[in-house]
Structure 1
Amino acid sequence: MDKIKRPKLNLSLRKSLILYIVIFVILALILSISTNYICESTVASIQESYPPSGEKYYLTNEQGERLGEGTYIGNEPVTFSEKDERVITLLKMFPVIATPVYSALCILTAVLLFYKNKLRIPLIELRSASEKISNNDLGFSIEYNSKDELGQLCNSFETMRATLANNFSEMWRQVEDRKQLNAAFAHDLRTPLTVLKGYNEMLQSSRDEQTNEIAVTMGKHLSRMEAYVSSMSTLRRLEDTQPEYETISLQPFLSSLQESAQIICTQNEKTLYLQNETSACEICVDKSFITQVCNNLLSNAVRYALTSITLSFSIQDDGFWLCVSDNGKGFDKNTIYKVTNPYFTEESDCAEHFGLGLYICKLLCERHRGYLKIDSTSKGAKVSAFFKFPTS
């Protein structure tokens, strides 16, 4: 049986479809002929059940004896009963109606069987594979052994999956190596920086004016290096952290975010506008993630805003939206796609800012199964953070 199925399974889609249609068209033709024959036989049987009418003539010999059964000459039309008349009419009409019906049903059956035997299984495999890949699940294989077009597509998909799995493993190994290197780098720099800071404090206490000026400059650079090392350690912790979901009362939480935002804007002499479009009473999120993203976005906005900042909240798409916009110059269209990269900044003097704010926001949003959206509008810049609710 497998030897019979294998050639049929390996037929191309075009040949398979033609084969199915030809087989079922022949079947429709056989059914039509059979139906016509059965109907005609039934009509003849009904007609024979009625005795013929007219005069019956016999052949005779010289002695006047009848020969044979005789023959009716000048038959008059047989009068059928009303019921048999309806039956005969239906039987004569049925083959005319049945032929197109058989054709349609057979072609429909051919298409359904073609889909079931040639399309359904590979399409299910490909859809399942697509869903798993979209969920970053590469630990599977596509098993569909056929040499037709969909079999070749499944083989190509399996090759792509295996390549993605290898690349993902290699990328993960490189990421882990980078994390370990950064951690080792940050750890090893702490001791020499501490020593240099000690010597720098001694130099700053010198009475020689030139030595004192050099020591002050060195101190600024040492502080910058120390802040850089601290940021590397912070990034390592954030890259490894996972959200801790909890059900919270929404409005009190938003009030605390608004109070913090008002303080940041007041300190930087900026006007804060609030837009609260939420109506839910409780949500399930990680408060620390949202709070840190909100503070980072506000701190970033106050540096570029001219006079005002707008903070808005909303709940859409099964998640919580936090948007911060300002009326500053906006993002440069040539570098907007880089602003979420770590250590990227457009400022020439970045002694205090290492370009980590938006990267940290993006990282926390993605850990919360959301994302960060960057927009540059005619009125300034707008950054939207989306935090997806956990599925129950």
Structure 2
Amino acid sequence: MGKIKNLFSKRSIKTIFIWYMLGCIVTALLFSLLLSNTCQFVQSRIYNKYQIIYEETHKEIEVEKGHLIAYYTRDLRSYFTPFEQRLDDAMSFFSIAVYPICFIFCIVGTSVLFYRRQLQTPLAILDHAAGQIADNNLDFKVVYNKEDELGKLCASFEKMRVALQESNEEMWRQMEERKRLNTAFSHDLRTPLTVLKGQSELLQQYAPKMSAEKVSGTSEIMHRHIVRLESYVQTMSDLQRLEDIEIIRKPISMEMLYEQLQETGEVVCIDKMFSCECKVGMDTALCVDTAIVQRVFENLLANAARFAKERVSVSVDSSDGYLYLMVSDDGTGFAEKDLENATKPFYKTVSETDNEHFGMGLNIGKILCEKHGGYIRLSNRNGAVVTAAFRQ
């Protein structure tokens, strides 16, 4: 029985429907023949009851051309009782009517059985899933174990639910990220705006009494903070545009990429000792968005060069379908708090006091790596180590 169920679970609904209809036709024919023969049997019992009497008492025999011919002078049904006549009429009618009746009954029964066994459960599952999605509730699963058309439809519904859930989670993550971004933006703007406001009030009140040197110094302070605000706004604009970047992977050899990384490292780390090591063969084929890899690499190098004492080291590797860039420096490394928060926007490390940097390098690198199907990992090993992974 289990094997039959498994066999039917892998058949299409069209095939199963054909089997049901064939079973319906065979069943209807068998029942029709059985009931029709039963009606005829009842009629024959009634006729046989009076057949002998009828043949003996109401027959005239003539000889015609040497043959005996029997003529019955009275109808056999005249011997039937009123009940037997009605029964004989009913059996005559039902022996014919039983065919359409049986077919109608079997078709209706087969349709109900087919609906309950093949359609009712998956339709209920899909109706429930549609209702849950309409209510914006995606915390459920669409499970239907058959492999027919409705099973495939349920599987497609489950894929759609998973995609919607992931999309919603990503949307909420982006919303939360934007909230943190706006909070950080507002917080960091407060200081330069306060300075500008104070300096402008100072000029308004005391400009006529201030010396040219004092006015020039105040103007210089204001100009420096205005430039910082412009840079800050530009950084925010760049961050917004990161969401619209499309990843375009193209084939490139490890040798060509290594040369580009080497050149970039020598330029960015001009005042530090720079070394770059490749852990795979130079003929290794890669498939990455070189512009994205370079942008992330430049951000990581700039961070490493700022915190390094003397040396910045880079390691390039490729395995398991990923390209790995590991950038390390010989600085003090990440504090425990930094390891958790350094990739957040506008975050500055515990030891950092430079107001010219906005703490966006690692955050931009994280966003670009994730868009490339990879990630960023922070660790310490005789200094800070940042590993960027890009899915090929």
* TM score, norm. by length of structure 1: 0.50
Larger Rg, first or second structure (1 or 2): 2
